[in-house]
Amino acid sequence: MMKLTLLTGLIVGIFSISVCAQSKPKMSAARFEGLKGKVKTVSFDDAIFDESGKIIRKKGEIYIVTTYDEVGNKTGYVSLVNGITAIKNITWESGGEIFSKNERLSTPNATNDPPPPPARKMENEGPKNPIDNSFDFKYKPDFDDNGFLILELVYGNNGTLSNRRTYSYDPSGNKVKETVFTDNGTRYNDSTLYTYDPKGILINETHLLGDGSGVESRARPSH
């Protein structure tokens, strides 16, 4: 009887550990973006200034509408440039990985946007020589014990690592920094700093572009 009881206890213990491992909390995409409540749609519009304060992209030139499901997972977005729908994206999760597929609907006139960071693949540009056309990019997220996204590996549909992204948070759980590494995830490329008011509302983003040296300390602000 004692042996049976011990064996049963071990089985229950193993089952409990397995359940705990499978139920590790994971922040939703909406929570990651600082959104609260049951958000369905978010519209994003901005203006970009250079270091001297001169507007280099007017508000309304680029307009993005992002959609989320009932649990806060991103389902896609639509990007409009000067009122013209340029890109339609769908996003889905499968097997703990996130997949993204873009459909370019039009190529509007170029704006006065600053050039993209050096060496970083833009998400509306699919990788060359794809081996799986069902998606453009695949994201492998890693969460800490509190469910916060701390690392994300981004792969193209040709199987190669496009970039590696790391994230850090303040004591309130707000994302305060994103850092992007390219060249197989080892070379610094750019970072974004996020600032919040006392209520936890995002009030400022500062994007730092690398200067090509791969050293973060020499990053330069773009907007």
* pLDDT per residue as tens, the chain (223 positions): 444 444 444 444 444 444 444 556 789 999 898 888 889 999 888 777 766 777 777 777 788 999 999 999 999 999 988 888 889 999 999 999 999 999 988 776 555 555 444 434 445 455 667 788 899 999 999 999 999 999 999 999 999 999 999 999 999 999 999 999 998 889 999 999 999 999 888 888 888 888 888 888 888 776 6
What is residue 223's predicted lDDT score, i.e. its pLDDT? 61
What is residue 23's predicted lDDT score, i.e. its pLDDT? 59
What is residue 140's predicted lDDT score, i.e. its pLDDT? 96
Q: Is-above-0.85 flag for pTM?
A: no
Three-state SS across the chain?
CHHHHHHHHHHHHHHHHHHHHHCCCCCCHHHHCCCCCCCCEEEEECCEECCCCCEEECCCCEEEEEEECCCCCEEEEEEEECCEEEEEEEEEEECCEEEEEEEECCCCCCCCCCCCCCCCCCCCCCCCCCCCCCCCEEEEEEECCCCCEEEEEEEECCCCEEEEEEEEECCCCCEEEEEEEECCCCEEEEEEEEEECCCCCEEEEEEEECCCCCCHHHCEECC
What is residue 59's predicted lDDT score, i.e. its pLDDT? 75
What is residue 112's predicted lDDT score, i.e. its pLDDT? 53
